[in-house]
């Protein structure tokens, strides 16, 4: 069963317009069979204060991460989560969240690791839905469990590990954190907790393109032509490039991964989810401080 | 070194959390507490400069501690869009206010890990509450040396 795509003119120009839905589109289709709405936020309680009617909650930390190893859940864990959330393998999943969809993009990226085919983002996310005065509810509906198959995670295509990044030198790297974090003045966002990086700075040769460059004030994505101007013209990325994006723990770079893969249409983009909390504590990996990208080390 | 002990209001919140079995029930209770975070009294409403940001928390939460005649009062602000952080602040405001300096300083630093929330909200987020408690105690000690009151 395929839920029709959103034909909004704004989306036509994107490389993969089927990955986005607008609030108008969603509001008209809240109870569509074969579609599940998922809310994914930074704050674990925000969903409980009011959510889009019928939406289920998936928390990036307590649901998508393994509770012991620093990794995502495995195939069985993901299947159990999908079952508990009432999601079938062929369902359309529409994800939205706070902070301009950081965590929603992160959840979408994890769904993609498991090859869930039809997963879309709500343009503008939670904040715009609420700012527009659209309906929210605190009602939590009972969920009918599904029978989601156990599918093993496929990390290779869209996930980079530390060793991959060391071998990647010479290819485009994008640091999507704030300029202060890039320069090494701090290891966390101005408003975020210290999360244990022992060194500050950036991976040598990384371009600094903060994630928010791709978003409008209201949290929606910029138009295709604006995104092409930023990433293809100014940064010089092209379809033949192999791109790796990183941030602090991989959430903001999921946003950029979504933009580059689905909106700008670059075929090879990976998210380095270990990001600065791994690189900034790893022994004997090169680091550059200051505003310059620094020399490109030899790949190893 | 003061022996660890927990004020009765704080202990009651802890017992209520632990009595709830499901993660969802514990989250709902945390949300109730978030909604109970008291507004600032008028004398502090226009004095953001007195408040200290708990930078360890993901969301903007600010605290201020007043010590009058050996009695501690804790004030906090956090946005409605950050209910988890508001809940943490509310627990500490309700649990510590009205107690003596010694009683507040005697609360164990790892108390936030003992209220049954580490699974529900994750260890990472609980760290924010641990930092909030540490900063409250730090302010209590600082007030003993130098009382602070709102200016004119």
In chain B, residues with a C-beta closer than 8 Å to the C-beta of A44 are 27, 84, 120-122, 125
**Taking the domains of chain B in order of start, what are their residue ranges?**
3-143
A6 close to A21: Cβ distance less than 8 angstroms:
yes
Written as six digits, the tokens of A289 are 């401080």
Look at residue A237 and give its three-state secondary structure. Answer: coil
Closest Cα in chain A, distance from residue B144 (Å): 28
User: Is the confidence at residue B98, as pLDDT, over 60?
Assistant: yes
Q: What angle do CA A209, A248, B77 make, to 5 degrees?
A: 105
Least confident of A44-53, A105-114, B115-124: B115-124
Buried b (16+ CB within 10 A) or exposed e, A105-137: bbbbbbbbbbebebbbbbbbbbbbbbeeeeebe
Q: Of A2-6, A202-206, B2-6, where does the model show the most confidence? A: A202-206
Which of A44, A192, A193 comes nearest B121 by C-beta? A44
Mean pLDDT, residues B19-40: 94
User: Is the confidence at residue A192, as pLDDT, over 70?
Assistant: no
pLDDT band (50, 70, 90) for residue B150: low
pLDDT band (50, 70, 90) for residue A191: very low
Report the alpha-carbon distance of residue A120 to residue A104 in Å, rounded: 9
pLDDT at A108: 98
pLDDT band (50, 70, 90) for residue B125: confident
- Taking only the tens place, the pLDDT of each residue in A36-87 is 999 999 999 999 999 999 999 999 888 999 989 999 999 999 999 999 999 9
Residues 6+ apart with CB under 8 A from A149: A79, A89
Report the alpha-carbon distance of residue A19 to residue A265 in Å, rounded: 11
pLDDT at A2: 82
Closest Cα in chain B, distance from residue A98 (Å): 9
The predicted model scores a pTM of: 0.90
Contact across the interface for B59 and A62, Cβ inside 8 Å: no
Mean pLDDT, residues B22-32: 93
pLDDT band (50, 70, 90) for residue A195: low
In chain B, residues with a C-beta closer than 8 Å to the C-beta of A193 are 55-58, 127-128, 131
pLDDT at B149: 66
pLDDT at B60: 87
Domain B3-143 is of which CATH architecture? Alpha-Beta Complex (3.90)
Mean pLDDT, residues A273-286: 96
User: Is the confidence at residue A94, as pLDDT, over 60?
Assistant: yes
Report the alpha-carbon distance of residue A161 to residue A272 in Å, rounded: 6
pLDDT at B66: 94
Mean pLDDT, residues B13-27: 94
Beta pairing partners, A21: A122
* B23: Cα within 13 Å, side-chain hemisphere: 10
- Taking only the tens place, the pLDDT of each residue in A210-257 is 999 999 999 999 999 999 999 999 999 999 999 999 999 999 999 999
Report the alpha-carbon distance of residue A132 to residue B30 in Å, rounded: 28
User: Is the confidence at residue A187, as pLDDT, over 90?
Assistant: no
pLDDT band (50, 70, 90) for residue A188: low
Q: What percent of chain B has pLDDT over 70?
A: 95
Q: What percent of chain A has pLDDT over 70?
A: 96
User: Is the confidence at residue A194, as pLDDT, over 60?
Assistant: no
User: Is the confidence at residue A1, as pLDDT, over 60?
Assistant: no
Contact across the interface for A49 and B84, Cβ inside 8 Å: no
Q: What percent of chain A has pLDDT over 90?
A: 90
Closest Cα in chain B, distance from residue A77 (Å): 16
- Residue-averaged pLDDT of chain A: 94
User: Is the confidence at residue A205, as pLDDT, over 70?
Assistant: yes
Report the alpha-carbon distance of residue A95 to residue A92 in Å, rounded: 10
Beta pairing partners, B144: none
* A126: Cα within 13 Å, side-chain hemisphere: 30
């Amino acid at each position: 069963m395929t839920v029709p795509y959103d034909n909004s003119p704004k989306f036509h120009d994107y490389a993969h317009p089927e990955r986005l839905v607008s609030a108008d589109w969603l509001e008209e289709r809240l109870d569509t069979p074969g579609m599940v709405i998922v809310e994914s936020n930074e704050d674990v309680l925000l969903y409980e204060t009011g959510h889009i009617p019928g939406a289920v909650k998936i928390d990036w930390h307590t649901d998508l991460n393994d509770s012991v190893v620093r990794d995502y859940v495995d195939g069985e864990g993901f299947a159990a989560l999908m079952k508990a959330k009432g999601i079938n393998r062929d369902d359309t999943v529409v994800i939205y969240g706070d902070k301009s969809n950081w965590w929603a993009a992160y959840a979408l990226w994890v769904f993609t690791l498991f090859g869930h085919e039809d997963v879309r983002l709500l343009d503008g996310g939670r904040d715009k839905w609420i700012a527009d005065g659209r309906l929210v509810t605190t009602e939590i509906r009972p969920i009918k469990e599904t029978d989601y198959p156990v599918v093993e995670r496929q990390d290779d295509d869209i996930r980079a590990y530390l060793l991959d990044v060391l071998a990647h030198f010479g290819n485009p790297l994008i640091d999507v954190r704030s300029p202060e974090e890039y320069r090494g003045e701090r290891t966390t966002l101005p408003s975020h907790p210290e999360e244990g990086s022992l060194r500050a700075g950036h991976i040598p040769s990384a371009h600094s393109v903060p994630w928010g460059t791709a978003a409008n004030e209201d949290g929606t994505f910029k138009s295709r032509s604006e995104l092409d101007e930023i990433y293809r013209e100014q940064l010089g990325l092209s379809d033949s490039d192999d791109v790796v994006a990183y941030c602090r723990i991989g959430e903001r770079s999921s946003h950029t991964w979504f933009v580059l893969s689905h909106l700008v249409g670059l075929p090879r983009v990976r998210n380095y989810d270990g990001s600065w909390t791994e690189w900034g504590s790893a022994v004997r990996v090169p680091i550059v401080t200051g505003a310059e990208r620094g020399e490109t080390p030899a790949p190893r | 070194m003061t022996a660890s002990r927990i004020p009765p209001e704080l202990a009651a919140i802890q017992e209520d959390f632990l009595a709830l079995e499901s993660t969802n029930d514990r989250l709902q209770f945390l949300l109730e507490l978030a909604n109970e975070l008291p507004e600032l009294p008028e004398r502090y409403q226009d004095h953001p400069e007195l408040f200290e940001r708990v930078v360890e928390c993901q969301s903007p939460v600010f605290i201020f501690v007043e010590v009058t005649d050996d009695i501690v009062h804790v004030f906090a602000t956090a946005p409605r869009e950050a209910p988890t952080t508001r809940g943490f602040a509310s627990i500490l405001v309700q649990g510590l206010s009205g107690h003596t300096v010694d009683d507040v300083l005697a609360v164990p630093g790892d108390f936030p890990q003992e209220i049954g929330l580490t699974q529900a909200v994750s260890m990472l987020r609980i760290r924010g509450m641990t930092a909030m408690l540490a900063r409250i105690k730090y302010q209590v000690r600082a007030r003993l040396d130098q009382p602070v009151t709102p200016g004119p």
